[in-house]
Amino acid sequence: MESLRILLIFGIMYLTSQILIAIFKYFKNLIQSENIRIEKNDKYFGLAFFVVLIIGFLYFQKKDVILGLQIGLLITLFMGILILLIKFIVRISELFSLKRQRIEGINSKGFKITKGTKLNQYYWRDINWIKFDKEKFRLIFKGKNKIAIDEKTQNFYLLLKNIPLGYKDYDYTYIDSFFSNLTTCVVCGAVAFKDSKCLSCGCTTWSNKLEKDYSNYDEYVKTNQLEIFATMEKNEKFCDFKLIGKNFDIDTNWSPKVTKKEVLDYSEKEYWNIK
């Protein structure tokens, strides 16, 4: 009899926890406005829960049934809070880590997406659908899973230019006209200026916001050029005002407003001596 009691308490405990997880899952789906689908397992769990509960109340002591319910509730709550806490810690550490997602190794076979030590290889042969979402300005592709990336991913623009022909939902004409309508950025020299912002260095046209920090546009351009072309160490080779990056073409007619000497003096003052 004693072992049956223990079995009942454990049974109720286990089923309570399963029911609570299922309820949580449905609420989550409801909030995300996905279709609610009751899975077979959940139906069995629900049925078993009520059967065991009735048997418990009819043939066993009430306090054993309640004990099972209480332990089940507590364990599930405890596990739930623990999972939330772990997720929260992971999210916070992601926010603070400076590792940016980056696209690498684009070639005729595919490309890679890296973040820190994580690396995912994607092959064109596995990608059966690609679309450029113009409103949200992001690229969506589907192989095994659906993945969306936007301009926060390094080399995003390079990938846009290198999507192989043949994806019928990818608007090649739109992408071509997007790149051919870009103009030269006064600050970095890349043909990457769109509307009022450079997609390469992030500099903007003169605005009220900039007036607070710079006396005029010339000063804004020069300050940003010193920063963009600075070398981090004394031995680092100066790029000679040619930014290495394949996302955008560099306008050969563009010339900087600062000299090499000014950039190196600035680098020495700002970066070389920092230990």
> Residue 127, interface with Zn ion (CB under 5 A)?
no
Q: Which of 15, 198, 221, 226 binds Zn ion (CB under 5 A)?
A: 198
Least CB distance to Zn ion at residue 75 (A): 56
Least CB distance to Zn ion at residue 243 (A): 8
The smaller minimum CB distance to Zn ion, of residues 19 and 203, is found at 203
Per residue in 160-194, is it b (16+ CB within 10 Å) or e — as a string? beebeeebeebeeeebeebeeebebbbbbbbbbbe
The smaller minimum CB distance to Zn ion, of residues 52 and 185, is found at 185
User: If DSSP codes are grouped into helix, strand and coil, which group holds residue 56?
Assistant: helix
106: amino acid identity, one letter = I
> Residue 185, interface with Zn ion (CB under 5 A)?
yes
> Residue 188, interface with Zn ion (CB under 5 A)?
yes
The smaller minimum CB distance to Zn ion, of residues 149 and 243, is found at 243
Residues 150, 138 contacting (CB under 8 angstroms): yes
Least CB distance to Zn ion at residue 91 (A): 32
Least CB distance to Zn ion at residue 95 (A): 27
Closest CA to 188 of 225, 151, 155: 225
| Token pair recorded at residue 218 | 């010339």
d(CA 220, CA 213): 8
Q: Which of 200, 224, 225, 247 binds Zn ion (CB under 5 A)?
A: 200
Angle at 212 between CA 211 and CA 217, to 5 degrees: 30
Mark residues 201-230: x for contact with Zn ion by CB under 5 A, - for none.
Answer: x-x---------------------------
Report the interface residues with Zn ion, using CB under 5 A: 185, 187-188, 198, 200-201, 203
